[in-house]
């Protein structure tokens, strides 16, 4: 589905991504784990085209997308659930959801408003409320629902459980597992080792703009001390 090959990204003179290599197989969930400021969001923004890489290739469904505008990349079937949710606070839940609606599939796996409301019944109840009236958890549901309504086959999720109470965080992790079961490919940015190991098939650890370690979740399950050491590199 996605492959990054020696990706280098800069902000001005600041060399943030220093040769990132990673892969997401079709139908898998891959976690990108790392501390604050290590380059996780920059990786996500390089993939979707907000901060195009200066060097390296980003191959999505067999096509080199590095340098393409975000709008073209989105049309190829990629969606973003951005860090901090970024919903429209003055628009209603329904308006937020239908803004990006794209009917690209006709089968029953396609997402429409009703199907998103089935996945997140609280959004249906809050349909006429404005974004700013929602709880953090509901805002995150809205950000995920909005991404699903573009009918993507690949979703970038940047710390979707950040700042949520444990109960709602658990509920949302369950929803991500449901998406995984439905065959969705996901690149999940996380700071939490347990969430990464629970949800992902494969985990990469990022430190200072580089991937410093990687392994299948099963393989890393018994190596939490090692993961912590790599995270602190």
**Residues within the interface to ligand ATP (CB under 6 A):** 11, 14, 16, 34, 36-42, 83, 191
Interacting span for Mg ion (CB under 5 A) from 3-11, 21-29, 35-43, 66-74: 35-43
Burial class (CB in 10 A: 0-12, 13-18, 19+), 202: buried
Q: C-beta of 42: minimal distance to ligand ATP in Å?
A: 3
CA distance 232 to 85: 27
| Residue 9 binds to Mg ion (criterion: CB under 5 A) | no
Binding-site partner at residue 180 among ligand ATP, Mg ion, none, CB < 5 to 8 Å by type = none
If the CB atoms of residues 40 and 173 are measured against Mg ion, the closer one turns out to be 40
Binding-site partner at residue 122 among Mg ion, ligand ATP, none, CB < 5 to 8 Å by type = none
Binding-site partner at residue 181 among Mg ion, ligand ATP, none, CB < 5 to 8 Å by type = none
| Residue 41 binds to Mg ion (criterion: CB under 5 A) | yes
Q: Which of 209, 212, 200, 216 is nearest to 19 (CA)?
A: 209
CB–CB of 169/138 below 8 Å?
A: no
If the CB atoms of residues 10 and 88 are measured against ligand ATP, the closer one turns out to be 10
CA-only gyration radius of the chain, Å: 17
If the CB atoms of residues 153 and 190 are measured against ligand ATP, the closer one turns out to be 190
Secondary structure of residue 24 in the 3-state scheme: strand
Q: C-beta of 189: minimal distance to ligand ATP in Å?
A: 7
CA distance 13 to 28: 35
Q: C-beta of 52: minimal distance to ligand ATP in Å?
A: 13
If the CB atoms of residues 138 and 158 are measured against Mg ion, the closer one turns out to be 158
CB–CB of 86/79 below 8 Å?
A: no
If the CB atoms of residues 41 and 139 are measured against Mg ion, the closer one turns out to be 41
Q: Which of 127, 122, 121, 75 is nearest to 97 (CA)?
A: 127
Interacting span for Mg ion (CB under 5 A) from 40-48, 93-101, 113-121, 139-147: 40-48
With residue 187 as reference, give the H or E element that holds it: strand 185-190
Q: How many residues bind Mg ion (CB under 5 A)?
A: 3
| Residue 51 binds to Mg ion (criterion: CB under 5 A) | no
Burial class (CB in 10 A: 0-12, 13-18, 19+), 16: buried
Q: Which positions lie near Mg ion, rule CB under 5 A?
A: 40-41, 83
């Amino acid at each position: 589905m996605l492959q990054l090959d020696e990706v280098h990204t800069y902000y001005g003179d600041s060399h943030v991504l220093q040769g990132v290599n990673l892969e997401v197989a079709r139908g898998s969930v891959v976690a990108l784990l790392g501390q604050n400021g290590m380059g996780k969001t920059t990786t996500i923004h390089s993939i979707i085209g907000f901060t195009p890489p200066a060097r390296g290739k980003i191959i999505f469904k067999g096509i080199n997308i590095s340098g393409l505008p975000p709008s073209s990349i989105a049309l190829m079937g990629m969606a973003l659930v951005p860090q901090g949710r970024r919903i429209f606070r003055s628009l209603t839940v329904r308006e937020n959801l239908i803004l990006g609606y794209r009917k690209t599939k006709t089968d029953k796996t396609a997402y429409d408003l009703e199907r998103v409301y089935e996945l997140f019944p609280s959004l249906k109840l809050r349909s006429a409320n404005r974004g700013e009236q929602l709880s953090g958890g509901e805002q995150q549901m809205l950000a995920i629902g909005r991404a699903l309504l573009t009918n993507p086959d690949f979703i970038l999720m940047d710390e979707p459980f950040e700042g949520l109470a444990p109960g709602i965080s658990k509920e949302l992790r369950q929803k991500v597992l449901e998406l995984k079961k439905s065959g969705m490919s996901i690149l999940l940015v996380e700071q939490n080792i347990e969430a990464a190991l629970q949800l992902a098939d494969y985990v990469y650890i990022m430190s200072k703009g580089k991937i410093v370690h990687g392994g299948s979740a099963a393989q890393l399950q018994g190596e939490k001390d090692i993961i912590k050491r790599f995270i602190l590199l």
